[in-house]
Amino acid sequence: MALDTERNFVRAADKCFVTQPSVTMQVRKLEDELGVKIFDRSKKPLIPTPLGEKLVEQARTILKESSRMKELIQENQGKLEGELKIGIIPTLAPYLLPLFVADFEVNYPQIRLVVQELHTDLIVERLRRDQLDLGILVTPLHEKGIQESVLFNELMFGYVGKDHRLFSKKKITMSDLDLDDTWLLSEGHCLRGQVLNICKTKKEHDSHSFVFESGSLETLERLVEKHKGMTILPFLATLNLTTSQRELLREFSGIAPVREVSFTTNRVDVKTAMIDALRKTIIKSIPQKLLKSEGQVIEL
């Protein structure tokens, strides 16, 4: 598994805490026993052969099922313990994690949360490779084999500079938005695609003398405050705004845009008891209005 993940004998050996010759010997021994080549060593980096891909996937399944046996025993005994590996997107992590992590640690001290902040595509990839147990991200993904379970719908707001054409409006509409005066997150952020969809376009204009794309919502907020323009903020990102910053917020009138936040897994039966405990903790910890938010779910 390590060799398939790393695609390099030295890195795979380091990951397994053994020497590189040991990994090479064990892989060659397995190939000799099976009578097939699992990895194509002529490629740089090396890759599995077509049959090797199937064998590696089967090996992953066997490992998953063996670990699931231990989970079933623990669940039957009423135990909640072990490690839960989570991937969460950058536009959720700084706002959602502080709301529930402390409570979860108090209530479930035997569960070790290992959280990585990653873009959606990496979360999906690592779910498929069983490097993560759970993703917390924005859906729908329409990814084959990835299970989605909605947590809440999060309202979106306009964050409008004082010199912006929309600042005088108490509420804005989706048709008011124009990419020519809207700051965007950089490529790879799902919120970027949603803003483009709110603007009803995939075509990005380039009429500015200053063009900037950020990986941080906070940076976009500062640009709006100091450099005019506007951006879109999800509800959780507005919770810690100051009174003066909240003066720049604009609700959407009519059917408001929302983003659908979900748990995602590679299987429906992976660490279910721990994931259920996490879900209950999050639902209890977040502002309850999130559970009642209605609007138009914006595609990625």
Helix axes 9-16, 20-34, angle to 10 degrees: 100
Tell whether pTM > 0.85.
no
In b/e form, how buried is each residue of 273-291, taking b as 16+ CB within 10 angstroms? bbbebbeebbeeebeeebe
- The domain locations on the chain are 1-63, 155-258
C-alpha to C-alpha distance for 176 and 64, rounded to whole angstroms: 49
**Residue 214 CA from chain centroid, whole number:** 17
Confidence of residue 41 (pLDDT cuts 50, 70, 90): confident
Predicted local confidence at residue 28, as pLDDT = 87
Per residue in 122-149, pLDDT tens? Answer: 999 999 988 999 999 999 998 998 999 9
In b/e form, how buried is each residue of 135-149, taking b as 16+ CB within 10 angstroms? bbbbbebebeebbbe
| Most trustworthy range by pLDDT among 8-12, 64-68, 77-81, 156-160 | 156-160
Per residue in 215-250, pLDDT tens? Answer: 788 888 998 998 778 999 999 999 999 999 999 999
Nearest to 179 by CA among 143, 204, 202: 204
Least confident of 14-28, 81-95, 106-120, 252-266: 14-28
Domains 1-63 and 155-258 share a fold: no
Least confident of 15-24, 126-135, 235-244, 289-298: 15-24
Predicted local confidence at residue 71, as pLDDT = 67
Least confident of 72-76, 130-134, 173-177: 72-76
Predicted local confidence at residue 202, as pLDDT = 44
CATH 1.10.10.10 at 1-63, yes or no? yes
CATH of 155-258, one of 3.40.190.10, 3.10.100.10, 1.10.10.60, 3.40.50.1950: 3.40.190.10
Least confident of 67-71, 89-93, 164-168: 67-71
